[in-house]
């Protein structure tokens, strides 16, 4: 797409955001100059029907008008509160990913093209779409398993979505470059780099084999966990453009009245949701990063079933230890230890003072200890922590930002189920167990085993290292005795380079000489 086309797409997106009142809903009372004028003009141009609506509804209307690519952009920006701010990120997290369905025939063609088999050979029956989102839609179908029909869910990529996204991506990059050029304060957020991350994550999400792999991995991790599971994948009927999985009959976690009417224990569900998320994060280092209530169901057995694993997060061992020690440090009011963890992890540059950083952390931690436990938000605590770390030059850590965003959503869902939800009491068994297993005596033994394994691996490679060292020693001795030698091709290449260098050197000398003659003539 041409640059002119990117400008036109960007202008259209801006106009839709203005007309739907999204720009006017942003905080702009304190803006001055051109920015203030633009905000006031946006308020005046907001269509009448949008003026009395909530910001989340305005966003939903704007995204629906702009199309699937902007739904995906909104979902991605919901994972980056460091870029758009916490309030906007939360609004984006609650956007409903609902789009118009596309015809069954188009879905059938996509499936047959992806799997190389006729639809009738794959499914006993294949129904009309039951839900549609920005990238794909879901159909109900039946397969033959052990001689009996079994209902399955079939997720199919939306036709043309890759081309449409690539076109819109040009305008996203244009906006990012303009932002870096004209808004210097935004450069620390690296908008072009953020856009590159969006491009990469969406390409991954548009390959349904990778979502299937994520479901499979999370399923294996949670196989023995109480009250939580994910749908099983049918790998025979899964490809780049199609994902076939277990059909889930259940009540959405957003339907609180429906859950209550079905006799489910809402307080227990809230505790299970949060403990499951923390367990996946700390124990496995792999978590579902799009846990809004539309992606969470409760089955007849009372288990939470998470679907739509297009966005997942990973934490390394260092990041998991960082999270656990921070939570424990705030609970124990050991602010010095919380500060030291940041420095040990390399998140805060060593040039800063640990004591000064601990003082800043105390300013966050002390106010929470005077509040009732059920009013303390772990997600809010992490949000404040990241705000403070900015003052000490902590670079943006996308994996931690994604974790914090997901925790905001999970904690919000838990509080809709149980308004008096006690986050700290619920989290303590999971966090405490992880600390005991990884930071106590058992953790030391585990680290020792890992160290021994590394030493054993090094010992196995020792003969190869010795052989390489001997060869290197012989080559050095040969160079010392006979000098450095090149093969014929290398010598010829060096000769050509020297010849070019010599020619240009002579040209430079003539230019300098002529310049000196001209200067002498002018002075004379």
Determine, yes or no, domain membership for 431: yes
**Residue where one domain finishes, among candidates 417, 439, 461:** 439
Cα torsion 409, 256, 135, 315: sign? positive
Helix (H, G, I), strand (E, B) or coil at 312: strand
Measured CA to CA, the distance from residue 380 to residue 427 in angstroms comes to 15
Token pair in block for residue 474: 């012989």
Q: pLDDT tens digit string along 110-164?
A: 999 999 999 999 999 999 999 888 889 999 999 999 889 999 999 999 998 888 8
Q: Which helix (H) or strand (E) holds 125?
A: strand 125-132
Max distance between CA atoms of the chain, in angstroms, equals 107
CB 171 within 8 A of CB 10: yes
* 174 and 322 share one domain: no
Residues 399 and 464 in one domain: no
Q: Which residues of 232-256 are buried (b: 16+ CB within 10 A; e: fewer)?
A: ebbeebbbebbbbbbbbebbebbeb
Q: Is 290 a catalytic residue?
A: yes
Q: Which of 290, 299, 437, 477 is catalytic?
A: 290
Using DSSP bridges, classify how beta strands 304-306 and 228-229 pair: parallel, antiparallel or unpaired. parallel
The tokens of 115 are what?
Answer: 């799997």
Question: 296, 413 in Cβ contact below 8 A?
Answer: yes
Tally of domains in the chain: 4
> Residue 521 sits in which domain range?
486-524
In a domain? residue 418:
yes
pLDDT the model gives residue 222? 95
What pLDDT score does 173 carry?
Answer: 86
- Asked if residue 109 belongs to a domain, the reply is no
Stated pTM of the model: 0.72
Same-domain check for residues 188 and 289: no
pLDDT digits (tens, 9 = 90+) for 183-211: 776 776 678 887 887 787 788 888 999 99
User: What confidence score (pLDDT) does residue 454 get?
Assistant: 47
Q: Greater confidence, 468 or 44?
A: 44
Q: Is 512 helix (H, G, I), strand (E, B) or coil?
A: helix
Look at residue 137 in the predicted model and tell me its pLDDT: 93
Q: Would 236 be classed as within a structural domain?
A: no
φ/ψ bin of 75: left (φ > 0), alpha (ψ from -120 to 50), beta (otherwise): alpha
Listed in order, strand segments (DSSP E) in 158-252 are 228-229, 242-246, 251-252
Residue 247 located in a structural domain: no
- Phi, psi of 159, rounded to the nearest 5 degrees: -60, 135
pLDDT at 328 over 60: yes
Note whether 418 and 282 are same-domain residues. Answer: yes
Task: State whether 473 and 490 are in the same domain.
Answer: no
Coil, helix or strand for 43? Answer: helix
Answer yes or no: is 126 within a domain.
no
Reading phi first (left if > 0) and then psi (alpha if -120 to 50, else beta), residue 221 is in alpha
CA-to-CA distance for 471 and 481, rounded, in angstroms?
16
Out of 48-52, 375-379, 407-411, least confident range: 375-379
Do residues 284 and 393 both lie within one domain?
yes
* CB contact burial 325-361 (16+ within 10 A = b; e otherwise): bbbbbbbeebbbbbbbbbbebebbeeebeeeebbebb
Say yes or no: 469 and 507 in one domain: no
As a whole number of angstroms, the distance between CA 21 and CA 43 comes to 7
Query: What is the per-residue pLDDT for 240?
Result: 95
Alpha helix (H) residue ranges in 461-487: 462-482
Does 517 have pLDDT greater than 50?
no
Q: Supply the DSSP symbol for 239.
A: B
Tokens encoding 375: 């009013």
The reply to whether 62 and 26 lie within a common domain is yes
Q: Are 425 and 457 contained in the same domain?
A: no
Query: Which strands make up the sheet holding 242-246, listed edge to edge?
Result: 125-132, 136-145, 148-157, 242-246
Residues 313 and 362 both lie in one domain: yes
Question: What is the rounded CA–CA span in Å between residue 9 and residue 170?
Answer: 9
Q: Which of 325, 255, 311 is nearest to 133 (CA)?
A: 311
Query: Is the pLDDT higher at 409 or at 215?
Result: 215
Residue 178 counted as domain residue: yes
Neighbours of 138 (CB within 10 A): 21
With 60 as the cut, is the pLDDT of residue 306 above it? Answer: yes
> Domain for residue 32, yes or no?
yes
List the end-to-end C-alpha distance of the chain, in Å, as a whole number.
Answer: 60
pLDDT at residue 97 in the model:
57
379/406 same-domain check: yes
Residue at token pair 């809903």? 25
Q: What is the pLDDT of residue 462?
A: 63
Helix (H) or strand (E) holding 219: helix 208-221
Positions of E strands within 247-367: 251-252, 286-288, 296-298, 304-306, 312-314
In this structure, the number of other CB atoms found within 10 A of the CB of residue 101 comes to: 17
Q: Is the pLDDT of residue 475 over 80?
A: no
The two beta strands, 296-298 and 286-288, are unpaired
* Local confidence band at 179 (pLDDT 50, 70, 90 cut-offs): confident
Phi-psi region of 356 (alpha: psi -120 to 50; beta: other; left: phi over 0): alpha
HSE-CB of 268 using CA atoms within 13 angstroms = 12
Res 65: pLDDT: 80
The contacts found for 349-356 with CB under 8 angstroms, 24 or more apart, are 349/392, 349/393, 352/392, 352/393
Please determine, for residue 304, whether its predicted confidence score (pLDDT) is greater than 80.
yes
**% pLDDT > 70, the chain:** 78
Residues 464 and 401 in one domain: no
């Amino acid at each position: 797409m041409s640059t002119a086309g990117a400008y036109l797409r960007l202008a259209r997106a801006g106009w839709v955001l203005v007309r739907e009142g999204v720009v006017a809903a942003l905080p702009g009372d304190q803006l001055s100059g051109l920015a203030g004028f633009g905000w006031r003009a946006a308020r005046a141009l907001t269509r009448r029907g949008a003026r009395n609506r909530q910001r989340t509804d305005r966003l939903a209307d704007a995204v629906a008008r702009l199309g699937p690519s902007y739904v995906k952009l909104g979902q991605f920006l919901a994972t980056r509160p460091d870029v758009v701010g916490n309030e906007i990120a939360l609004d984006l997290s609650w956007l409903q990913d609902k789009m118009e369905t596309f015809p069954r025939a188009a879905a059938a063609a996509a499936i047959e093209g992806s799997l190389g088999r006729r639809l009738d050979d794959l499914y006993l029956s294949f129904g009309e779409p039951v839900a549609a989102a920005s990238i794909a839609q879901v159909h109900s179908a039946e397969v033959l398993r052990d001689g009996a029909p079994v209902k399955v869910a079939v997720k199919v990529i939306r036709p043309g979505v890759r081309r449409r996204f690539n076109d819109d991506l040009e305008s996203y990059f244009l906006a990012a470059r303009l932002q870096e050029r004209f808004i210097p304060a935004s450069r620390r957020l690296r908008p072009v780099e953020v856009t590159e991350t969006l491009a990469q994550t969406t390409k991954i999400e548009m390959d349904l084999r990778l979502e299937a792999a994520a479901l499979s991995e999370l399923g294996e991790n949670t196989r023995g966990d109480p009250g939580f599971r994910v749908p099983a994948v049918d790998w025979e009927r899964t490809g780049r453009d199609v994902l076939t999985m277990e059909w889930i009959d259940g009540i959405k976690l957003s339907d609180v009245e429906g859950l209550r009417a079905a006799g489910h224990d809402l307080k227990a569900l809230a505790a299970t949701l949060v403990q499951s998320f923390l367990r996946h994060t700390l124990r496995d280092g792999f978590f579902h990063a799009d846990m809004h209530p539309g992606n969470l169901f409760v089955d007849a057995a009372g288990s939470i079933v998470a679907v739509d694993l297009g966005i997942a997060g990973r934490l390394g061992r260092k990041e998991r230890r960082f999270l656990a020690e921070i939570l424990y440090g705030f609970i124990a009011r050991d602010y010095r230890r919380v500060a030291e963890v940041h420095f040990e992890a390399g998140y805060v540059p060593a040039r800063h003072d640990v004591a000064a950083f601990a003082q800043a952390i105390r300013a966050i931690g002390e106010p929470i200890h005077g509040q009732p436990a059920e009013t303390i938000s772990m997600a809010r605590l992490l949000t404040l922590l990241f705000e403070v770390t900015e003052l000490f030059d902590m670079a943006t850590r996308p994996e931690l930002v994604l974790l914090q965003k997901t925790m905001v959503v999970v904690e919000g869902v838990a509080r809709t189920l149980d308004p008096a939800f006690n986050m700290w009491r619920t989290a303590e068994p999971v966090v405490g167990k992880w600390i005991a297993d990884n930071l106590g005596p058992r953790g030391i033994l585990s680290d020792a085993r890992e160290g021994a394994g590394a030493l054993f691996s090094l010992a196995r490679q020792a003969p190869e290292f010795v052989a390489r060292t001997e060869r290197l020693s012989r080559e050095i001795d040969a160079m010392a005795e006979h000098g450095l030698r090149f093969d014929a091709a290398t010598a010829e290449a060096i000769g050509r380079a020297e010849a070019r260098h010599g020619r240009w050197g002579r040209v430079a000398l003539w230019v300098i000489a002529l310049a000196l003659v001209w200067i002498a003539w002018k002075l004379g």
